[in-house]
């Protein structure tokens, strides 16, 4: 399927789990890319709705590879199932409810080819709700600006690139299954640990779907804290030369996260108090 450096193969991994309302549009947004040399891997994590039935309707396209896990593996293991099937020079990830703009992959391939030292690039994304309505803001905003750089940028700034915005080189890395939530930050740190750069495209080239029931304050805080501590611990064990940077990052990231959650909590209390005054 590869056709040389002028038209490198791009593997797109689409994760599916109970996405029957969105999976068709998500797959079609990949199929309709202006960049055509694609391997489209759809891996369904034992959905119990009509997701796999919808996915199966695309099996006639020679670019499409369909997998269905016999048991539910969870998001991290399902990512690795998809990675094992990738044959492309570059890899793109997306959820079964997210959408691509038609020139997304074309523009990212062009950027990756322009700098042989790039290991990862990303772009901005529209935030949309369950119904596809634009929420009035983008994934990257004034509190989370675009960043380019290298391993230290990723260490100090965390995961600033949404999954459906990211393209990486195919390095045969896998996601660490010891982390309960998605181990994308550790994956990117490992990718950059031996050198390489990050760059970005200042355009909205995908839509990231934010579900209203995907966040609760208390459990969200402790899951996030566990993710930060586990990621930086595992990374510093594997790459001890970055131990000092990982320690500084741990202090900074936990402090920033605590501040942000406290700010959200206070806003919720103030809103509730103001609402009570109207009764």
What was the pLDDT predicted at 217? 37
Q: DSSP string of 79-134?
A: HHHHHHT--SSEEEEEETT-EE-TTHHHHHHHHHHH-TTEEEEEEEEEEE-TTS-E
Q: What is the mean pLDDT of each run of 10 residues along the chain (279 residues)?
A: 71 96 97 98 97 96 97 94 97 96 98 97 93 88 76 91 94 88 88 95 94 50 85 95 96 89 80 65
Spatial distance between the Cα atoms of 115 and 112, rounded to a whole number of angstroms: 6
What was the pLDDT predicted at 277? 61
**pTM (2 d.p.):** 0.88
What was the pLDDT predicted at 3? 45
Q: 10-209, superfamily in CATH?
A: Spore Coat Polysaccharide Biosynthesis Protein SpsA; Chain A (3.90.550.10)
Residues 33 and 105 sit within 8 Å (Cβ to Cβ): yes
Residue spans of the domains in the chain: they are 10-209, 217-276
Report the run of H or E that residue 168 belongs to, with start and end: strand 167-169
What was the pLDDT predicted at 278? 56
Residues 215 and 108 sit within 8 Å (Cβ to Cβ): no
Spatial distance between the Cα atoms of 97 and 125, rounded to a whole number of angstroms: 14
CB atoms within 10 A of CB 117: 9
Spatial distance between the Cα atoms of 78 and 44, rounded to a whole number of angstroms: 8
């Amino acid at each position: 399927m590869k056709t040389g450096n002028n038209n490198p193969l791009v593997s797109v991994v689409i994760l599916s789990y109970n996405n029957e309302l969105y999976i068709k549009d998500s797959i079609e947004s990949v199929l309709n890319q202006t960049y055509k040399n694609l391997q489209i891997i759809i891996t369904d994590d034992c959905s119990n709705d009509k997701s796999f039935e919808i996915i199966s309707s695309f099996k006639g396209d020679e670019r499409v590879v369909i997998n269905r896990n016999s048991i539910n593996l969870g998001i991290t293991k399902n990512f690795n199932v998809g990675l094992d099937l990738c044959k492309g020079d570059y890899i793109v990830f997306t959820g079964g409810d997210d959408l691509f703009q038609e020139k997304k992959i074309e523009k990212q391939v062009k950027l990756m080819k322009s700098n042989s030292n790039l290991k990862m690039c990303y772009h901005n994304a529209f935030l949309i709700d369950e119904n596809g309505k634009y929420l009035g803001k983008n994934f990257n905003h004034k509190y989370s600006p675009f960043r380019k750089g290298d391993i230290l940028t990723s260490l100090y700034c965390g995961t600033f690139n949404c999954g459906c915005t990211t393209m990486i080189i195919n390095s045969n890395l896998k996601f660490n299954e010891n982390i309960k939530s998605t181990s994308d930050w550790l994956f990117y740190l490992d990718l950059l640990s031996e050198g390489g750069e990050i760059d970005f495209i200042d355009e909205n080239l995908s839509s990231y779907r934010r579900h209203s029931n995907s966040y609760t304050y208390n459990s969200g805080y402790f899951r996030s804290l566990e993710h930060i501590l586990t990621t930086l611990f595992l990374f510093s064990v594997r790459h001890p030369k970055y131990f000092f940077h990982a320690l500084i990052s741990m202090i900074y990231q936990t402090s920033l996260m605590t501040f942000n959650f406290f700010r959200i909590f206070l806003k919720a209390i103030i809103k509730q108090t103001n609402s009570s005054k109207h009764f």
